[in-house]
Amino acid sequence: MVKIRKRRADDGFYYEIDDFQEYVGALSVKGIESPKAKYRVFASTENERLARERFGDRLDDEIASFFRLGPSSGIDYRIVDPSEME
């Protein structure tokens, strides 16, 4: 399972892959081209609030889709905040 780390920023949240090598390996197994470098997604506090209103429980899937994860890829993921990291 690929972990997406959610980190607080001054004006929102960053989402990034916790273990990039594990992530690349999971994509490779599914035949999905992996990114050449690690990247992260930023959502302002206001945008995240609006997105939660619009997508509700599906917001995690929407965020995961930026990383080519989730139901459409068949790769399991979990979004965790720093207090949940092992």
What pLDDT score was predicted for residue 71?
86
Regarding predicted confidence, which is higher, 12 or 56? 12
pLDDT of 82 > 90? The answer is no
The amino acid at residue 52 is R
Hey, where are the domains in the chain?
2-84
What pLDDT score was predicted for residue 58?
84
**What's the whole-model pTM score?**
0.84
Calculate mean pLDDT across residues 27-41: 93
pLDDT of 85 > 60? The answer is no
Q: Which two tokens stand for residue 61?
A: 């899937």
User: Residues 4, 42, 68, CA angle at the centre, nearest 5°?
Assistant: 45
pLDDT of 41 > 80? The answer is yes
